[in-house]
Chain A
Amino acid sequence: MTTSIVGERTTIGFGNVLLSEWTKLRSVRSAYWTALVAVLATIVVGALISHQQANQIIIGKDSLDGFDATLTSLNGIYLAQIAVGALGVLVISSEYGTGMIRATMSAVPQRRIVLAAKGIVFAGCTLVIGEASSFAAFAVGQRLLLPAHAGVSLTDPGALRATVGGGLYLTAIGLLGFGLGALIRHTAGALSAFFGVLFATTALVDLLPTNWRNHVINYMPANAGSQIISVIHTRNALPPWTGLGVLCLYATVALIAAATLVTRRDV
């Protein structure tokens, strides 16, 4: 028998699982494509809207009164969130879909460790890419708003917070997708749930009586979370960090539910 005795030496470390999940994420092309879509969406859409706004201001159709230059340049994040959320769903649901999850979970029987490592690797990558594209979008957008004398700089009040917030918002949205993917395990179902939570809930809130609706709508995940990328806020809106906190709460609920069920369900 040539069985290695080194196998008994140590248990699996969290670092081992992190490295494994990093290899998984970086070794499929679809992850790169999704990341590229998110980056381009953030920068290009932000640039287009900034350019258009600048023209509107120059020809006098829009005034600088109440104009949120930072939010204008970060508008692409609303498109990028779709790619990021879908990737969050897919990094876990595709493993269930292919059956690879059984190899993963038999290699590392501590299922919550697997879930945590996967979530951290995904969130880490999303944060880096999200921050980079958010700052790039801000820089490009403000440059394009310059001819209209509408540009701001990072030192202006709220601008830095909103730009940093762009990456944080995308990361929180990604984790919401990841949590739903881990909870629902089927790609189609989890994607539907993600879009449902993000968009359909807002539509459903419209069915509520007006005085309720105006209050409840602020707590919907996208509305609440995106306060972090605004500098000028509407009167009823949640404060930026509170809003982001509410979005994180949605993601946390999904993640806790997934972590609770992962050890109870058969793989």
Chain B
Amino acid sequence: MIQAHDLSKSYGSARAVDGLTFDVEPGRVTGFLGPNGAGKSTTMRMILGLDTPSRGSVTVNGRAYGEIRRPLHEVGAVLETRAVHGGRSSFNHLLCLAQSNGIDRSRVSAVLDLVGLDKVARRHVGAFSLGMSQRLGLAAALLGDPPVLLCDEPVNGLDPEGIVWIRTFLRERAAEGRTVFVSSHLMSEMALTADHLIVVGRGRLIADASVSDIIERHSANSVLVRSPVVRQLAALLDQRGADVSLNLADDSLIVTGLSASAVGDLAVAHGLAVHELVSRQASLEEAFMELTRNSVDFRPEAAA
């Protein structure tokens, strides 16, 4: 359980994190979603006591991080992937972290087994691929068998196999009853990994709800209609109060506010031909774009 209250961090006049209040519950994967620069990593660092909040507080299992007696037994974190000394072997990298919290050497071998790095335990970390480094990060996080796991952008730069592995891995940890908090700027990835989402933009909380709720609430479902008489159909739909956007190039309409069946019935009742009628469910990606529309710092003109 992670609890943030009015958590804020300013760098000079810039507010990286601005009054975040949220709970991260155990037993499910909570996605921490936002565009790049939304304050996700800063929030993660504040949870771990690495950055001091300018205002507000955050606790892990009811305690400020600095008061936790043996942190590796409480919280496992994966921050930057390559944050290791390249000249050290993965075994020694994990060993020095383990020893600092009085964790036995046999546990180091166990976590290397768990993430599938046991064969390269003695190899220098500098020669590791991104996927292997990511696994090493997870191994370090698991050293103390902690009930809380934090991962900052764990799938960044991974190949599809690695992504699936991490996704499955995190879901399994949540199923064991752990608190799993995963940041990402990829909505599509979070749709597959997370049960619950905390969405931030420009350091502020935008949404805190289940994945299905967010899709439902923030993405209007629409109907695509293709017809030889689009103009008449558009006028008719407009009278019925639907939002219509007309595309004369391919004689199509995008209708929101009416269901596909209602659109079809209306066309039949007025004797208008319809060649195509498709109900479209907005993706989580669209919901995310909609949610963060006003919170993206720098947006390319064309994409706006």
Question: Chain A interface (Cβ within 8 Å of chain B)?
Answer: 1-4, 6-8, 10-13, 16-17, 19-21, 23-24, 27-30, 94-95, 98-100, 102-110, 266-267
Q: Is the CB of A106 within 8 A of B71?
A: yes
Specify which of A4, A7, A12, A13 lies most central, judged by the most chain B CB atoms within 10 Å of its CB: A7
Inter-subunit contact A16/B88 (CB<8 Å): no
Taking a contact as CB atoms closer than 8 A, the residue among B99, B140, B145 that contacts A4 in the complex is: B145
How far is B100's CA from A30's CA once the two chains are assembled, in angstroms? 22
B51 touches A266 (CB 8 A): yes
The residue that B147 contacts in the complex, of A3, A6, A107, with Cβ under 8 A, is A3
Question: B45 and A107: CB pair below 8 A?
Answer: no
Give chain B residues whose Cβ lies under 8 Å from the Cβ of A102: 45, 48, 50, 79-80, 83
Kindly provide the distance from the CB of B97 to the nearest chain A CB, expressed in whole angstroms.
Answer: 5
A99/B80 in contact, CB under 8 A: yes
Residues B102 and A100 in contact, CB atoms below 8 Å apart: no
Contact A12 B147 (CB under 8 A): no
Cβ contacts under 8 Å, B178 to chain A: 1
Task: Verify if B66 is at the interface (C-beta below 8 Å from A).
Answer: yes
A98 and B82 within 8 A (CB) = yes
Q: A114 → chain B, closest Cβ, in Å?
A: 8
Interface residues of B (CB under 8 A from A): 45, 48-52, 65-66, 68-75, 77, 79-80, 82-89, 92-93, 95-97, 99-102, 140, 144-147, 176-178
Q: A23-B96, A27-B96, A103-B140 are in contact. Are A3 and B146 (CB under 8 A)?
A: yes
Which A-chain residue is minimally distant from B78 (CB atoms)?
A103
Q: How far is the CA of A126 from the CA of B246 in the complex (A)?
A: 78
Contacts of B66 in A (CB 8 A): 109-110
Residue in contact with A23 in the complex, picked from B65, B99, B176, CB distance below 8 Å: B99
Q: Which residues of B contact A29 (CB under 8 A)?
A: 87
Contact of B83 among A2, A21, A28, A98 (CB under 8 A): A98
Contact B145 A108 (CB under 8 A): no
Q: Identify which of A23, A99, A108 contacts B92 (C-beta below 8 A).
A: A23
Determine the chain B residues whose CB is within 8 A of the CB of A23 once the complex forms: 92, 95-96, 99
Tell me whether A103 and B83 are in contact (CB under 8 A). Answer: yes
Q: Do A105 and B50 contact each other (CB < 8 Å), given the known contacts A7-B74, A23-B92, A30-B87?
A: yes
| Chain B residues within an 8 Å CB radius of A20 | 96-97, 99-100
Asked if B87 and A4 make an inter-chain contact with CB atoms under 8 angstroms apart, the answer reads no
Closest A residue, CB atoms, query B92: A27
Q: How many Å lie between the Cα of A95 and that of B93 in the bound state? A: 12
* A-B contact sample (12 more), CB < 8 A, given A27-B93, A266-B45: A1-B178, A4-B145, A16-B102, A20-B97, A21-B96, A27-B88, A27-B95, A99-B83, A107-B101, A109-B65, A109-B66, A266-B51
Known: A4-B145, A11-B69, A100-B85. A106 touches B49 (CB 8 A): yes
Given contacts A1-B176, A3-B147, A107-B71, contact A12 B83 (CB under 8 A): no
On whether the beta carbons of B49 and A16 are closer than 8 Å, the reply is: no
A99 CB, nearest partner CB in chain B, Å: 3
A residues in contact with B147, CB < 8 Å: 1, 3
- Nearest-Cβ distance from residue B107 to partner chain A, whole angstroms: 10
Determine whether the beta carbon of B85 is less than 8 Å from that of A95.
Answer: yes
B84 adjacent to A7 (CB under 8 Å): no
Chain B contacts of A13 at CB under 8 A? 102
Please tell me if the beta carbons of A16 and B100 are within 8 angstroms of each other in the complex. Answer: yes
What chain B residues lie within 8 Å of A95 (beta carbons)?
A: 85
- Cα distance A29–B89 when bound, in Å? 11
Contacting residues, chain B, for A10 (C-beta < 8 A): 69-70, 102
A16 to chain B: closest residue by CB: B102
Q: Is the CB of B51 within 8 A of A7?
A: no
Decide yes or no: A266 and B84 within 8 Å by CB, A7-B144, A107-B71 being known contacts. Answer: no
Look across to chain A and name the residue whose beta carbon is closest to the beta carbon of B73: A7
- Chain B nearest CB, measured from A84 CB (Å): 19
Interface CB pairs A-B, < 8 A, 15: A1-B147, A2-B176, A7-B69, A11-B69, A13-B102, A20-B99, A27-B88, A98-B82, A99-B82, A102-B83, A106-B75, A107-B72, A108-B71, A266-B52, A267-B45
Which of A12, A30, A104 counts the most chain B CB atoms within 10 A?
A12
Chain B residue contacts of A105, Cβ below 8 A = 49-50
Contacting pair B51 A12 (CB below 8 A) = no
The 3 closest A-B pairs by CB, nearest first: A7-B73, A99-B83, A27-B92
Cα distance, A1 to B95, chains bound together (Å): 25
Write the chain B residue with the least CB distance to A4: B145
Name, among B48, B52, B79, B102, the residue most crowded by chain A CB atoms within 10 Å (CB to CB): B102
B188 to chain A, nearest CB (A): 28
- The residue on B at minimum CB distance from A21 is B96
